[in-house]
Structure 1
Amino acid sequence: MSAYRIYLIRHGLTEANFSGKYIGATDVDLCEQGVASLLSLKEQYEYPNVGRVYSSPLKRSIQTARLIYPHMTPVTVDDLREYSFGEFENKTAEELKELPSYRAWLDSAQQTVPPHAEAPADFSQRVLDGLDAVIRDMMKDKISDAAVFTHAGVITALLCACGLPKRPYSEWAVEGGCGFTLSINAWLWGNERLFEVFTPLPYGKDVDSVMLDYQKELDTEEE
């Protein structure tokens, strides 16, 4: 049975990571620090060789893909774009705190849907369709290894739904330029929508370090 390897990588930092804005569908560039961090990761560690590079259509993902794999042209997959926060897009918690819809969203542990936002079930199905499109394209063109550049929400949604071994949502969070290796067995994916997750990326950067750096990023946003 055919097996494929996908390197699922989060895009680099944007200004929104420091301002605390909800940026999902909003199309923003990497910030200077984001570019510098990615170049530092590339210099210190190793990214795998791949036969193809896929990306969310949003600029921050495409820019990350081009920095990591400068000699390859990313194939964009629309369904791998980030979750849309609707009316909360491009706003901070401070700007939203008086809105009843925002307070309800927080009180529900983000289980309610913000006005004009994407329903979580629709988002989950969309990103599954996006990954399936990547896998089908790899099968069609006999590509055994590929990199996929996308967003934190997309990565955690995919790994929580399909990743083995099963882990809590928080354990799938990674910093910009980092990610996980997916081993795709064609039968297991086609019949069960499951895949194995192993080896954090880039090579040489252990998963504890990835998680620690990501938590520092969150702490910076909250200050």
Structure 2
Amino acid sequence: MVYRVYLMRHGHVANGNEKRYLGRTDVPLDAAGIAQAKTLHKYFKTIPIDAVFTSPLKRCVQTTEIVCEGKCGHYERVEAFTEIDMGDWENVPMTQIKSAYPELYAKRGDNLEYFTPPHGESFHDVATRARYAFDAITHHATGTILIVAHAGVNRTILANILGISINEMFCIEQPYACVNELIWNAKKVQWDNKRVF
């Protein structure tokens, strides 16, 4: 069984001058994101990693390849770690959604876990698929693993581990290129978590 997990968010991406619902929009890292990934490469240089898993989106794959260059020859793309599908809201500025759909925007704020944007999915759906994949990987892999995913995916995993509601998960900070270290505590039969980068 896995005893240590490094749960990482991908590096910075170009998001224009305003916040957007990127979700599954497949954008690459920008120059800042590449620099962050190179810094993480140095951070992990002396840390043994037995297996690597990543979201299949470009920003995660690029981060994974830079971080693991010369260290981890193989990584596995895991569809369940893909960011939330924002449906019709994909790549649309938040201010535009708030202006065009004020009632829907308010509903999302009131019920983050179960709200589903048109033709998208809810964070409840994300939490279900991401936790299933996380549990399967940590029960079948061994040693120390690295998972590279997204802010939304990571928050749902961490919320479950920390025992907090999905509706409260935005209190868990997940800046670009952050690293959460999860250590299996056999005495308490739980994951202990701290952010290390």
TM-score range (shorter-chain normalised) is: 0.7 to 0.9
Per the alignment, residue 103 of structure 1 pairs with 105
- Please identify, of 31-40 and 58-67, the stretch whose mean Cα deviation from structure 2 is larger: 31-40
| 1:77 CA displacement | 1.1
Partner AA of 1:74 in structure 2? Y
Per the alignment, residue 124 of structure 1 pairs with 127
1:184 aligns with 2:180: no
| 1:85 CA displacement | 1.1
1:137 is aligned, of 133, 137, 140, to 140
* 1:141-179 Cα distance to aligned partner (Å, 9 max, x none): xx2111110011111111111237x69634421222222
- Please identify, of 32-41 and 179-188, the stretch whose mean Cα deviation from structure 2 is larger: 179-188
Partner AA of 1:196 in structure 2? D
Q: 1:46 to 1:171 in 2, by over 3 A?
A: farther
Whole-Å separation in 2 of the counterparts to 1:171 and 1:49: 30
Q: Is the 8 A contact 1:16 1:22 kept in 2?
A: no
What TM-score, normalized to structure 2? Answer: 0.82
Q: Is the 8 A contact 2:7 2:146 kept in 1?
A: yes
| 1:64 CA displacement | 0.5
What TM-score, normalized to structure 1? Answer: 0.74
- After superposition, the CA RMSD in angstroms is 2.7
- Please identify, of 147-156 and 115-124, the stretch whose mean Cα deviation from structure 2 is larger: 115-124
Per the alignment, residue 161 of structure 1 pairs with 160
Point out where structure 1 has 5 or more consecutive residues left out of the alignment.
203-223
Partner AA of 2:95 in structure 1? E
Q: Runs in 1 of length 4+ with deviation above 4 angstroms?
A: 185-189
**Identity rate, percent:** 26
Per the alignment, residue 221 of structure 1 pairs with none
Q: Is the 8 A contact 1:3 1:186 kept in 2?
A: no
Whole-Å separation in 1 of the counterparts to 2:144 and 2:170: 27
Partner AA of 1:163 in structure 2? L
Point out where structure 2 has 5 or more consecutive residues left out of the alignment.
none
Classify the secondary structure of the residue corresponding to 1:149. strand
Q: 1:184 to 1:107 in 2, by over 3 A?
A: closer
- Please identify, of 53-62 and 101-110, the stretch whose mean Cα deviation from structure 2 is larger: 101-110
Per the alignment, residue 117 of structure 2 pairs with 114
- Please identify, of 112-121 and 100-109, the stretch whose mean Cα deviation from structure 2 is larger: 100-109
Which has a greater percent of helix? 1
Paired residues in the alignment total 190
1:201 aligns with 2:193: no
